Amino acid sequence: MESPFKPDILRGKVALLTGGGSGIGFELSTQFGKHGASIAIMGRRKNVIHDAVSVLQSLGIPAVGFEGDVRKPEDARRVVEATVEKFGKLDILVNAAAGNFLVPAEDLSPNGFKTVMDIDSVGTFTMCHQALKYLKKGGPGKDSSTGGFILNISATLHYTASWYQIHVSAAKAAVDALTRNLALEWGTDHDIRVNGIAPGPIGDTTGMSKLLPKEINDGGYETMPLYKVGEKWDIAMAAIYLASVAGYKRNDPHC
């Protein structure tokens, strides 16, 4: 599919994406790179990161990968600093790392609940916190006119209720809450734009193959909008739009 955006709309930007080596995260890495950004991806699986970087570089995209766990502040700090050392600055942080599995609430251990909360919500905050000094207006490699951009990938599970997904629903609700609060605080104090995207069912992802009912995966889309699932490309185009929007100005009548 052809992008509706100019090929160089993110030229000169540096983006760090957690979970950027697979699924929706890799599509974001690819499309950000195709639109001009330099890409750093972070993930726990060394082989996945290596393969993803190889693909990006084969497309002519400046890319580097770092093995790391978003739950560990020392990993988050190391990867953020390594990204800045490699590319000279950090403009965009995308938090796409996530954990998920199906389990009835009565069979879910507190440790299993905590694991997903730590990856999705605590990990998202940890990455934001470590990236703050580089994303804020006037931070290293930036001028004093505007700050950077944070995009948090959420979900729609917690908007109503979902079978066997209480841990993920709680984690994504927390992601939505921290997105709104950081948008308020860091937008006001540091001119950092913070947005979230909440994908529903997206084709050709682990979520589709393992977490949705068989009838949906077999093509039973009668209850879904447009009678189809979304595509990773759809999420990437929304992300590029948000990443490319100029910084908002107070008292701007168009905001």
Query: Which residues in the chain land under pLDDT 50?
Result: 214-217, 247, 249-255
Residue of 179, 192, 83, 178 whose CA lies nearest to 136 = 192
Distances in Å between the Cα of 55 and the Cα atoms of 27, 33, 128 are 11, 11, 27
Q: How many domains does the chain have?
A: 1
Nearest to 152, CA basis, from 27, 8, 19, 5: 19
Q: How far apart are CA 26 and CA 89, in angstroms?
A: 21
Residue pLDDT, tens place only, 202-236: 766 555 555 555 444 455 556 566 666 778 999 99
Residue at 251 is within a domain: no
Q: Pull the structure tokens for residue 68.
A: 């790391």
> What is the SS3 assignment for 173-191?
HHHHHHHHHHHHHHHHHHC
198 in any annotated domain = yes
Looking up residue 173, the CATH number of its domain turns out to be 3.40.50.720
Residue 9 lies in a domain: no
Strands (E), 141-192: 149-153
Residue 236 maps to a domain: yes
95's enclosing H/E stretch is strand 92-95
CB 96 within 8 A of CB 83: no
Residue 250 lies in a domain: no
Considering the domain boundaries, does residue 213 fall inside one? yes
Q: Is residue 51 part of a domain?
A: yes
Average pLDDT over the chain reads: 89
Q: Give me the domain span that covers residue 210.
A: 14-244
Q: How far apart are CA 162 and CA 31, in angstroms?
A: 30
pLDDT at site 1: 81
The answer as to whether 1 is a domain residue is: no
Does this model's pTM top 0.85? My answer is yes
